[in-house]
A and B are shown apart, each in its own frame.
Chain A
Amino acid sequence: MTTSWTIRGVRAALTAKKVSARELATEFYGRIEARNPELNAYLTLSPERAYAQAGRMDGLLAAGKPLPVLAGVPLAVKDVISTRGVRTTCGSKILENYVPPYDATAVERLEAAGAVVLGKTNCDEFAMGSSNENSAYGPVKNPVAPDRVPGGSSGGSAAAVAAGLAVVSLGTDTGGSIRQPGSFCGIPAMMPSYGRVSRYGLIAFASSLDRIGPFGTKVRDLAEVFGVIAGRDRRDSTSAGAAVPDYVAAIQAPVKGLRLGIPKEYFGEGMDPEVRKKIEAGIELFRELGCEVLEIRMPHTDYAIATYYIIATAEASSNLARYDGVRYGLRQDGDTLLAMYRRTRGAGFGAEVKRRIILGTYVLSAGYYDAYYLKGQKVRSLIARDFRDAFTKVDAILTPTSPFPAFRLGEKADDPLQMYLADIYTVTGSLAGVPGISVPCGKTAEGLPIGLQIFGPAFGEGRVLQLAHAFEEAGGASV
Chain B
Amino acid sequence: MKISREDVLRVAELGYLDLSEKELETYRQQLDSILEYVGKLNELDTAAVEPMAQVLGTDPPDGAVREDQVVRSDVARAVLAQAPDPEAPYFRVPKVIDR
Residues of A in contact with B (beta carbons under 8 Å apart): 98-99, 101-102, 194-195, 208, 232, 234, 237-241, 300, 302-303, 305-307, 309-310, 317, 321, 324-331, 333-343, 345-347, 349, 351, 354-355, 357-359, 361-362, 365, 372, 374-382, 384, 416-417, 420, 432-433, 458
Contact = CB atoms under 8 A, between A and B. Distances in A.
Contacts of B46: 375, 378-379, 382
B70 interface: no
Contacts, number: 173
Contact of B64 (A238, A307, A328, A377): A238
Given A208-B55, A306-B40, 4 more contacts: A237-B60, A309-B38, A321-B15, A337-B95
B88 interface: no
A194 B79 contact: no
A306 B54 CA distance: 17
Contact of A377 (B43, B52, B56): B52
24 contacts: A99-B82, A101-B78, A101-B81, A195-B55, A208-B53, A240-B56, A306-B41, A309-B34, A321-B15, A327-B91, A328-B84, A342-B16, A345-B15, A357-B17, A362-B7, A375-B46, A378-B52, A379-B44, A380-B51, A380-B52, A416-B34, A417-B34, A432-B55, A433-B56
A362 B3 CA distance: 11
Interface string B11-36: 11011111100010001001101110
A340 B62 contact: no
Nearest to A323: B16
B56 A376 contact: no
A339 B94 CA distance: 9
A98 B15 CA distance: 22
Contacts of B91: 326-327
A330 B84 CA distance: 7
A342 to B, nearest CB: 4
A328 B83 contact: yes
A312 B19 CA distance: 22
Interface of B: 7-8, 10-12, 14-19, 23, 27, 30-31, 33-35, 37-44, 46, 49-56, 60-66, 75, 78-79, 81-85, 91, 93-96
A339 B60 CA distance: 38
Nearest to B82: A328
A359 to B, nearest CB: 6
A198 B58 CA distance: 18
Interface centre among B14, B17, B35, B62 (most CB of A within 10 A): B17
A107 B46 CA distance: 41
Nearest to B12: A358
B37 A306 contact: yes
Contact of B96 (A240, A306, A337, A372): A337
Given A306-B41, A330-B84, A358 B15 contact: yes
Binding site secondary structure of chain A:
helix
A303 B60 CA distance: 27
Contacts of B54: 194, 208, 238
A381 B34 contact: no
Nearest to B20: A346
Nearest to B46: A378
A310 B37 CA distance: 11
A453 B43 CA distance: 28
Contacts of B94: 333-337, 339-340
Contacts of B44: 300, 303, 379, 382
Contacts of B41: 303, 306-307, 310, 375-376, 379
A238 B27 contact: no
Contacts of B15: 317, 321, 345, 357-358, 361
Contacts of A362: 7, 11, 31, 35
A322 to B, nearest CB: 11
A303 B83 CA distance: 42
A341 B96 CA distance: 12
B38 A372 contact: yes
Contact of A361 (B14, B33, B35, B42): B14
Contacts of A234: 66
B5 to A, nearest CB: 13
Contacts of A458: 55
Contact of B51 (A340, A359, A365, A374): A374
